[in-house]
């Protein structure tokens, strides 16, 4: 489902780790941007007819064999172009300049002096701290280019074509380390490409509802609700478009957190008055998981059981032709990325594997959005804040937060501990400052003393991470008082737990979840 945007900034990806950031920074300015592989054809570019093109950074050197290059005629399209880092070197190289390997790899902060008169620098102070990360440099300017800015190490810090709107920046304006980088991108988007800024949650909702109506027409549509942010926002959007043609199915797999099933039912049945099917399949799931301890095996069993349950409901509804999925933009980018196939670390959290034979077409109303944009759309649609600001929760639920075998008593331990942890995070104001937090039950017993009795009981690990996008994550430095209070409550209030530890590993090398 593609909606046509009046204004698009096209980002060609040369493999930089910051490419998604560029797209987010442009969108934060109210202008739609999308990422395509560097070898996106000239014909396709013309079809998109973007207001501007940004060439991302990347790890290659332009003069190497197999370096990612683009068709030189892109510079003849009369579309403003901004090359960042590798993008600058590529522009220089293709248009007749000379790029060489630098004696000193420039990495980290540098002070940039710039010519203040160019529209790129409106409201940008001078000099400016910028973030560098490159091992090559432009040695000779291509013909018709002049210098707009330099650092002590990069004489060509910013270059510009004298007659066309073609710019190159040797630094990364999209990262937080560069002062006023967002302002420069804003200037490029508004002053140089002439965008007006029509990318808002309201405009997205309006155009998406229109395209869902056109696509679904009079067919029935089914949606698997997990109660997470993505599936909830997708469901409400589709309901606004087609009303009762939508049936939402919520499967309680017995692996949900404390009070979760009731909360989800309440929101969708009462608040949004949806066609809502609640299926309690917890006994079935748990009996299939008896004696299973291997994480991948748990995931496969849960995935397969979910599909079976979901198919059964789908078959009871007449004329279902579409399935709603809460796919987000980062998943879309990853699947069409230039970076080649990446190793499978663990089968993806969201339930991708619905069987071919269901023969349903997909409606993916959020496939253009980043997570923060999904939340903004959800707020606009009137979803309650506790749902919108919820941390991500994996499809297999508590099954991957109980290491070892899954039993009712062990589920009860992790549920109680998790509930206390969430209460403490919320009352201290830390819940919204971290990307994700949860309790994990370890398959270890340790010796403790309670009253004067020796105990031999389970261990809970607490995890909290900060992250922009879950690709990388740091452990959250929660205040010791908060951790102390949480541990104290868990040990006192949850019978069967006598020790609490805090996980201080970052991703990579660790993953966010424990299995």
For 384, counting Cβ atoms within 10 Å of its Cβ (0-12 exposed, 13-18 middle, 19+ buried), the class is: middle
Q: How far apart are CA 177 and CA 179, in angstroms?
A: 6
- Which of 172, 195, 215, 368 is catalytic? The answer is 172
Strand order of the β-sheet with 320-324 is 275-280, 246-252, 220-225, 320-324, 361-363
Which two structure tokens, joined as six digits, stand for 146?
């002049």
Which helix (H) or strand (E) is 107 found in, with range? strand 98-114
Task: Count CB neighbours of 147 within 10 A.
Answer: 15
Question: Could you confirm whether 373 is annotated as catalytic?
Answer: no
Question: Could you confirm whether 195 is annotated as catalytic?
Answer: no
332 in helix, strand or coil?
helix
Q: CA triplet 148, 154, 158: central angle to 5 degrees? A: 25
- Which of 85, 195, 223, 248 is catalytic? The answer is 85
Q: Which residues face 167 on adjacent strands?
A: 82, 160
Tell me phi and psi for residue 475, to 5 degrees: -70, 140
Q: How far apart are CA 204 and CA 329, in angstroms?
A: 14
DSSP states of 382-409 as a string?
T--HHHHTPPP--TTGGGGTB-S---HH
Question: In angstroms, what CA-CA distances link 404 with 293, 348, 394, 464, 490?
Answer: 4, 20, 17, 21, 21
Please identify which residue in the block is written with the tokens 């490409």: 193
Strand order of the β-sheet with 81-84 is 33-37, 9-13, 52-55, 81-84, 166-169, 158-161, 145-150, 98-114, 128-140
Q: Which is it for the CA torsion 19, 201, 390, 478, positive or negative?
A: positive
Question: Could you confirm whether 162 is annotated as catalytic?
Answer: no
- Which of 174, 179, 373, 513 is catalytic? The answer is 174
CB 118 within 8 A of CB 160: yes
Question: In angstroms, what CA-CA distances link 116 with 29, 113, 158, 209?
Answer: 22, 9, 12, 44
For 313, counting Cβ atoms within 10 Å of its Cβ (0-12 exposed, 13-18 middle, 19+ buried), the class is: middle
Q: Which residues are catalytic?
A: 85, 172, 174
């Amino acid at each position: 489902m593609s909606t046509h945007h009046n204004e698009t900034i096209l980002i060609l990806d040369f493999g930089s780790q910051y490419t998604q950031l560029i797209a987010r920074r442009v969108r934060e300015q109210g202008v739609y941007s999308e990422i395509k592989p560097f070898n996106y054809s000239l014909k396709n570019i013309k079809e998109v007819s973007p207001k501007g093109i940004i060439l991302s950074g990347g790890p290659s050197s332009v003069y190497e064999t197999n370096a990612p290059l683009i068709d030189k005629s892109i510079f003849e399209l009369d579309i403003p172009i901004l090359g960042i880092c590798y993008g600058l070197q590529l522009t220089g190289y293709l248009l007749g300049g000379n790029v060489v390997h630098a004696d000193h790899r420039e990495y980290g902060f540098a002070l940039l002096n710039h010519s203040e008169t160019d529209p790129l620098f409106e409201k940008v102070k001078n000099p400016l701290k910028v973030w560098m990360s490159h091992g090559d440099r432009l040695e000779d300017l291509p013909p018709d280019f002049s210098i707009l800015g330099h650092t002590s190490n990069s004489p060509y810090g910013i270059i510009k074509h004298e007659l066309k709107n073609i710019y190159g920046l040797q630094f990364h304006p999209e990262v937080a380390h560069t002062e006023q980088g967002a302002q420069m991108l804003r200037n490029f988007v508004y002053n140089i490409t002439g965008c007006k800024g029509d990318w808002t949650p309201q405009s997205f909702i309006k155009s998406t509802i229109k395209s869902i109506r056109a696509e679904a027409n009079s067919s029935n549509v089914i949606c698997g609700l997990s109660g997470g942010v993505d599936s909830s926002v997708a469901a409400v959007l589709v309901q606004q478009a087609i009303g009762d043609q939508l049936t939402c199915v919520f499967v309680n797999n017995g692996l949900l957190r404390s009070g979760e099933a009731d909360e989800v039912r309440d929101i969708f049945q009462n608040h949004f008055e949806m066609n809502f099917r609640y299926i309690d399949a917890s006994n079935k799931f748990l009996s299939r998981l008896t004696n299973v301890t291997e994480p991948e095996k748990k995931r496969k069993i849960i995935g397969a059981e979910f599909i079976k349950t979901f198919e059964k409901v789908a078959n009871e509804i007449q004329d279902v032709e579409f399935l709603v999925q809460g796919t987000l933009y980062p998943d879309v980018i990853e699947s069409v990325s230039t970076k080649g196939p990446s190793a499978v670390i663990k089968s993806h959290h969201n339930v991708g594997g619905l069987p071919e034979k269901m023969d349903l077409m997909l409606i993916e109303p959020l496939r253009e959005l980043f997570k923060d944009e999904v939340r903004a759309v959800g707020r606009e649609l009137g979803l309650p804040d506790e749902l919108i600001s919820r941390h991500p929760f994996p499809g297999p639920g508590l099954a991957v937060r109980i290491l070892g075998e899954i039993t009712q008593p062990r589920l009860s331990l992790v549920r109680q501990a998790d509930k206390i942890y969430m209460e403490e995070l919320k009352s201290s104001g830390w819940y919204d400052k971290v990307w994700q937090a949860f309790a994990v039950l370890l398959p270890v017993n340790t010796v403790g003393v309670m009253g004067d009795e020796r105990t031999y009981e389970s261990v809970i690990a607490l995890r909290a991470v900060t992250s922009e996008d879950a690709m990388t994550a740091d452990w959250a430095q929660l205040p010791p008082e908060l951790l102390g209070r949480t541990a104290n409550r868990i040990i006192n209030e949850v019978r069967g737990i006598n020790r609490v530890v805090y996980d201080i590993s970052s991703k990579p090398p660790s993953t966010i979840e424990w299995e």
